[in-house]
Amino acid sequence: MAIDFEPTPSTLDARDYYNQVAREQMRPISRKYDVEEHTLPVEWVDWYWETGRKRAVTTAKLGEPADGMIQVCVQVEELCWGDAALYLRMPTPALGGSAVSAAGTPEQRQRFLSAFRAEGGHPIWGAMAITEPGAGSDAAAIQATAELDESTGEWILNGNKIFCTAGEGASQHEGGFVVVWATVDRSAGRAGIKSFVVPAGTPGMTLVGCEKKLGIRASDTATLLLESCRVPQENLLGSAEVKKRDPKKTGDKGFKGAMATFDASRPIVAAMAVGVGRAALDFTLEELARQGVELRWDAGLHEQSAVERDLIEMQAELQAARLLTWRAARMISQGKTNNLEASMAKAKAGLAVTRITQKAVQLLGPPGYSTKLFVEKWMRDAKINDIYEGTQQINQLIVARRILDYPSSMLR
């Protein structure tokens, strides 16, 4: 499939704008909120809600940008070049909004996403609650339940959700919402998994606490407890119908519809990884140049130093991850199925950013390992890209299944 990756003028403009945001709004407070984990970055949240959000809202009103999802990925790369954790702390619908957009009705999209687009108001967050203590990479193992109360027309949710990105903001702040995955029929397996929008402050949804993490410390990664949590019937995303799984098929529409959220979100996570990797590589190149280390891009392999070979390999890894990400993103804009490509981009970017940031620390020696520089922080922030939105192993498994055309029962 031929894809033209030449950025349009609007994408170049967006790249420059968000790079400026990264430099002026994010980098100056990056270390502060890495150290002060779980502290709300008020100045960043307020600035984005009052100023930065207007650009996103204007773009939405004007329609899709010429480059569609590629422009979104470019924006994400620049913001995560600034600080990936602060990007995750932005007051946006985020993953929860992606789920509503992917599986919700027009009325649901209007009801749950309009607050973000409205003028004025207050910051809002969206989150997705999937992972449980006993259900990580295998989303079909979800134990949280949803039972319909016929007398009131409400769904009653019960369960324990962990590692919910933006879970604190989405569950505690007015206008926020959490998309909770739960089973309406355990005997139906994956076909019984449905997603429900739970608005912030709903009785029965309790914030248990936030995780202390290796990296992305400014991001609130929450544990949520659902105890007889009631939501209206119309808060179910998609159909409540449960179809028993056909063993001859690789899945069912209900579960596949919910999982389709990842086909849109994985290229964005890959773009995040590219941003962090580029931050580490850019700084390493600048620092080594300052020390007089010359990088000869056109030198033959036998003429290059070990450092030159490392840097060229880092650049190649980054570019490969970026191009795979843009390919998956372009397919979304064209309305094409990108399950294979999204997983390829996510797997490659997660591996690339881990290698690039670790190598950057190594090349810079003791200063790279110290908190005097951001390089050690980028290494810590990088690893999560190899874990969330499907681990490296899970995404490689998806790629293998799609290439070999194997169902999950044949390749685990």
C-alpha pair distances (Å), 158 with each of 144, 182, 184, 192, 262: 6, 8, 11, 15, 24
Q: Which of 77, 168, 317, 389 is catalytic?
A: 389
Spatial distance between the Cα atoms of 207 and 190, rounded to a whole number of angstroms: 27
Q: Which two tokens stand for residue 142?
A: 């979800």
In 3D, which of 215, 173, 131 has the Cα closest to residue 40? 173
**341 annotated active-site:** no
3-class secondary-structure state, position 146: strand
The first and second tokens of residue 16, run together, are 């420059």
157, 202, 195, 190: which is closest to 179 by C-alpha? Answer: 195
Q: Are 146 and 198 in contact (CB under 8 A)?
A: no
Tokens of 207: 């914030």
Helix axes 27-35, 69-88, angle to 10 degrees: 40
What CA–CA distance (Å, rounded) separates 169 from 204?
Answer: 17
Distances, alpha carbon 163 to alpha carbons 132, 204, 225, 323, in Å: 8, 19, 12, 29
Through-space distance between the first and last CA atoms of the chain, rounded to whole angstroms: 29
**Tokens 């090349």, residue located:** 363
Tokens of 158: 């019960």
The neighbouring-strand residues paired with 156 are 147, 230
Active site residues: 389
